[in-house]
């Protein structure tokens, strides 16, 4: 195979696997928050605050994976 093809394949695999975890994580965060709100609606403030904080940290991991994939695509 052509080295350029392998480079793009590596970047795609890095992006795909690197964003799989944060995607699943965000789904589980949403699931947990909705279950917690269903059980205890009075605690909406702290639950939502923690959900947003953890969601932002999870998104950061996905952004790191995207940056690595872009760097892999740009390397000679």
CATH class of 8-74: mainly alpha
Any idea what DSSP says for residue 75?
Answer: -
Q: What is the pLDDT along the chain (76 residues), one digit of tens a residue?
A: 898 999 999 899 989 999 999 999 999 999 999 999 999 999 999 999 999 999 999 999 999 999 999 998 998 6
C-alpha dist (Å) from residue 37 to 1, 5, 43, 52: 52, 48, 7, 14
What are the sequence ranges of the domains in the chain? 8-74
**Cα torsion for 60, 65, 71, 76, to the nearest 10°?**
170
User: Model's pTM, two decimal places?
Assistant: 0.78
Q: Which two tokens stand for residue 28?
A: 């589980």
3-class SS shares of the chain: helix, strand, coil, % to 5: 95, 0, 5
Inter-residue contact 58 to 12 (CB < 8 Å): no
């Amino acid at each position: 195979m052509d080295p350029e093809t392998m480079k793009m394949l590596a970047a795609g695999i890095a992006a795909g696997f690197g964003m799989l975890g944060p995607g699943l994580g965000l789904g589980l965060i949403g699931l947990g928050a909705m279950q917690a709100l269903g059980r205890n609606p009075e605690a909406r403030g702290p639950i939502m605050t923690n959900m947003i904080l953890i969601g932002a940290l999870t998104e950061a991991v996905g952004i790191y994976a995207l940056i690595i994939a872009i760097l892999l695509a740009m390397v000679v």
